[in-house]
Structure 1
Amino acid sequence: MTKRKIEDSLEADTERKKISTRDKSLYLDTINRKVLDFDYEKVCCVSLSSTNIYGCLVCNKYFRGRSMDSECFLHSINDDHHVFVNFDTLSFHILPENYQLDEQTASSLNDIRQQINPTYKDLKDIYQDTSLKRDLAGREYRPGFIGLSNFGANDYSNVILQALAHVPPLRDYLLLYPEKLHKTKLVGKLSLLVRKMYSPNLFKSHLSAHELMQFVSSSTNKRFSLHHESEPKDFLMWLLNNMHKELVSELQNNMISSIFQGKVELPSGKSKFWMLTLTLPSVTLFKDGAKLEIPQVALEDLLAAKKYKIAKAPQFLTFYIKRKDDTQKIAGVNGSNINPTVVKFNPSQLKVDTHVYKLIANVVYSSGQNENYSLEREDQAHYKIHVLDEVRNEWLEIDDLKVKPIEKDLLFLNQTYLQFWQKIA
């Protein structure tokens, strides 16, 4: 081959490479990051299949497969959308040409991979970084303190998921070891949600627990779902029991029981517990002039009234404040079965026998009320949560999507429902 022919050949190869590179990135500018939301259950929006699902990076819809008769391929033809991500492999594909982006080109889309499946090498920023982050719209947010969408009646699950996401040993495990949890279903989906909650690179400053709750709804025959109100304490008990069973059976890991489980001493012997129920004293509300006087009781007094002794104090102690009166007749409260007694406590310190605890999460019951303190019906109950931001030493109130600071001295003024205390001594 002559020198001229060799030069022509090299130029042709170079030109082909340029064309190839240009073709591979031809459609990438059609990606619309502002509409992308990967929190929903990964099922095809046409066939409802849950296998081999791809996400359209232009319109955020999910479709099955890449073959010429697949919903994904037809969508690329009919809607002129061309860039898709495989949720199992996190590879990117161009349709209808049907080729996969090489890793060099795909690396420009790593921010999308982090939206789908965030990963963490260490937790230094979670324990030290006090800076606020911004989403694509410029809204500020605190990683870890992210509002969760309410689809109509799932505030009961939102508060429990928020609480578990702020139990340090559980949170750290869920953040650091997603590959270990790949074989689990319930814990794996909770891990994904928590990893998204702590991400500093969110496209939107709010999230949805849709994928996790769809799995829970299916597993419980819709006992716990997005569209039917349930008791937060019942959801917590179900979660702890099933997470414990799954981790023990799949990974021989008993961390859930080591974190939350304690023992009480009863006349019949010792018994394990996940949470302790504290019953409020019966209440009658009397009018003082034009106002109703709401009774108050100290949390220490409720503990002192218990008829059992704690034989083994758990690392994290959970209290359920029983507010609902089975008689559904509370004098002075119009049509309510909710005991409005205020429970007073010091968030910084609670002595339980010989141990000392600090409050990290406080779930409160709320409902509509007027100047005469009339509460709405039980089926209109609503729950929100106060969580401690230890890095900034602040308390935040999270009410579904709303996140705002709250003074520590005002926590007890709400109708406490569930509390999570961390042992410090």
Structure 2
Amino acid sequence: MPAADLPVAGEPESKRPRDDAEADGEVKRRKGKAEVPQRTDCPYLGTINRHVLDFDFEKLCSVSLSGENVYVDLVDGKYFQGRGKDTAAYRHALERGHYVWMNVHDGKVFCIPDGYEVVDKSLEDIKFNLTPIFDEEEVEHMSTRVRYSKALDGTDYIPGCIGLNNIQASDYQNVIIQMLCIVTPLRNMLLAYQPPTERKKDPVISSLADLLRKMYNPRNFKGLVSPHEFYQAVGAATGKKFYAKQMDPVAFFTWLMGYLHKKCKTKSGGSLVHDVFQGEVQVKLSPAADEARVTESKEKTLMLSLHLPDEPLFKDNLDFIPQVPLFNLLEKFNGEKSHEKIAKGGESREIRRYNLRRLPPYVICVVKRFRNNNFFVEKNPTIVTFPLKGLDLRDYIHPDCQPANPETKYDLVANICHDGKPEKGTYKIQVFHQPTSQWFELHDLRVTAVLPQMVALTESYIQVYQRQDVKADGSFGKFEMEIPEMSTEVDTGIAAEIEMAPEDLAEAGIIIG
């Protein structure tokens, strides 16, 4: 080859003379009206730096902040818009000498400014990290197969049991996301979720599904995941209510489950959220002056609230921490223990008694640790002792409804704790990893194995119990026997006098779906 025809180092290939052999190696295809050539011998594949690639953050152009037609520079990991001349990506490619780019929407790799598509098997791992995909068999065996993975920097991690980045006090969101990974039916639904093609995809559900797929990605370049896209979608959907500040994970969970139910509701009005979490509670109301006059009602519930006894005013020593068994708190639902409260309007008092009527596959117990007084928020540090396996709720079911609930034993699968002061503390979660049968504690990015005995020594706030008939693939028994209707006759006059308001139902642990 003459000296004038020799390629100059660092020069874009579009400016170099090319021989006939290179031209014959191109395979042209038609894309719309423009022909985009394909090549398998791109000389710039060695410049790709996988250590700087991060697909967790919002894929917006660094110049225009637009999400349309965005490409990622596979050399420095930055996002720019466009591929043709006079675009931000084209200018960045010429200025920096970075010629390998990937479309963030379809995963196709192009050489800019030469304009051809790169077809190479070595890029499959990058495409999989951009959009992880699991088939039905992988999703079905997600809770039985033990998988260990290693990041590019040598960090060991377990797919599905991975740390989440804390973005401006988002630990309350992180623990709820980690909790959903333990709820097998919901997790499998999100891992296999595909947005509908006939309408615009929902940003919250699609970003949540993408986040869970990245958490279960066995070929992740990093040993952690950042929930940035989901965090932004939640902030936009709630008007910045759950954004850039510490919030209650119970409030966030209630909003998220209501949102998923609304968006995934079937024609019959049901959804997987209600199939998994929704139970039924019977409430008996009576005036404090005449407890013989009883009004019964039944309400749907997504969680059970448990009230701690008041912290002792006088302690033997400063290190004293009160303890109470979980069974003492569950006596609230035995149908006999009375709870006195001022009725709506503040003119009279009423007595309430609760019973369980239907048990869902997953029972969520919320320990009411925080209480607002006239000046500040108080936290009750009482430790709740609870069993990790074999929690039997049969004694708290109404006698008429026990035949319709043949399985009443539950195992603990997740335990959300609060550490620190009420307003400045942090949330962490302890989860039971089914494939390894081991407990792990996840506190933002830190993932550590813990002994089962240590799980019961924390200040539990939210507990998730899984019914023992739930299988590893997420299927559970649906009992066909109908729950009998309440047989107690209700005095209409009393019912009108003592009417339960939605905010009163929240005190009973009832969240209206």
TM-score range, shorter chain: 0.7 to 0.9
What residue in structure 1 maps to residue 381 of structure 2? 340
Higher mean alpha-carbon deviation, 280-289 vs 347-356, is at 280-289
Q: Distance in 2 between matches of 1:130 and 1:147?
A: 18
- The structure whose Rg is larger is 2
Q: Hey, what does 1:74 align to over in structure 2?
A: 91
1:388 aligns with 2:432: yes
Aligned to 1:210: 228
Length, aligned pairs only: 395
Partner of 2:263: 246
Partner of 1:407: 451
Q: Deviations over 1:279-332 (max 9, x none)?
A: 11111254435x421111111111112431122211111111110122379xxx
Alpha-carbon distance change, 83 to 189 in structure 1, aligned in 2, over 3 angstroms: same
Superposed displacement of residue 342, structure 1: 0.4
Q: CA deviation at 1:17?
A: 3.6
Equivalent position of 1:109 in the other structure: 123
Match of 1:16 in 2: 23
Give the CA RMSD over aligned residues.
2.4
Q: Which residue is equivalent to 2:175?
A: 159
For residues 172 and 14 of structure 1, the distance between their equivalents in structure 2, rounded to whole angstroms, comes to 50
Spell out the pairing of 1:230-379 with structure 2 (5 A cutoff): 230-248=247-265, 254-267=271-284, 268-284=296-312, 286-289=314-317, 291-306=318-333, 307-327=353-373, 337-353=378-394, 355-367=408-420, 376=421, 378-379=422-423
> Distance in 2 between the 1:88 and 1:288 partners?
64
Q: Retained in 1: the 8 A contact 2:365–2:464?
A: yes
Question: Could you list the per-position Cα deviations for residues 211-251 of structure 1 after superposition, in whole angstroms to 9, with x for gaps in the alignment?
Answer: 011000011111112x2111101110111000111112799
Unmatched tracts of structure 2, length 5 or more: 1-18, 28-37, 285-295, 334-352, 395-401, 403-407, 470-513
> What's the CA shift string for 1:252-303, capped at 9, x where partnerless?
87111111111211235211121111111111254435x4211111111111
Q: Which runs of 5+ in 1 are unaligned?
A: 1-11, 330-334, 368-375
CA separation in 1, counterparts of 2:307 and 2:169?
26
Distance 2:269 2:149 in 1: 37
**What is the alpha-carbon distance in structure 2 between the residues aligned to residue 418 and residue 16 of structure 1?**
64
Note if contact 1:58-1:81 (Cα within 8 Å) is conserved in structure 2: yes
Further displaced range: 84-93 or 388-397: 84-93
* Paired letter, 1:417: Y
1:169-180 aligned within 5 A: 169-178=185-194
Structure 1 distance, partners of 2:415, 2:159, is 19
Q: What is the TM-score of this pair, normalised by structure 2?
A: 0.72
CA contact (8 A) 2:257 2:273 kept: yes
* 8 Å Cα contact 1:285/1:293 also seen in 2: no
Deviations 1:323-353 (A, max 9, x none): 0122379xxxxx9711000000011121123
Instruction: Label 1:154 to 1:414 Cα distance change in 2 as closer, same or farther (>3 A).
Output: same
Tell whether the 8 Å contact from 1:244 to 1:254 is kept in structure 2 after alignment. Answer: yes
Distance 2:40 2:107 in 1: 20
Equivalent-residue separation in structure 2 for 1:216 and 1:26 (angstroms): 42
Compute the TM-score of the two structures, normalised by the length of structure 1: 0.87
Query: How much has 1:388 moved relative to structure 2?
Result: 0.4
Q: Indicate conservation of the 8 Å contact 1:362/1:417, yes or no.
A: yes
For 2:75, the aligned partner's letter is V
The farther-off stretch of 347-356 and 12-21 is 12-21
- How far did 1:25 drift? 1.5
Structure 1 runs of 4+ aligned residues shifted over 4 Å read: 12-15, 18-24, 179-182, 249-253
1:89 corresponds to: 106
Identity of aligned pairs, percent? 35
CA distance in 2, matches of 1:253, 1:128: 29
Q: 1:301 corresponds to which letter in structure 2?
A: N
Equivalent residue number for residue 215 of structure 2 = 197
CA distance in 1, matches of 2:191, 2:373: 45
Whole-angstrom distance in 2 between the partners of 1:77 and 1:139: 35
Q: Give how far 1:13 is off.
A: 5.7
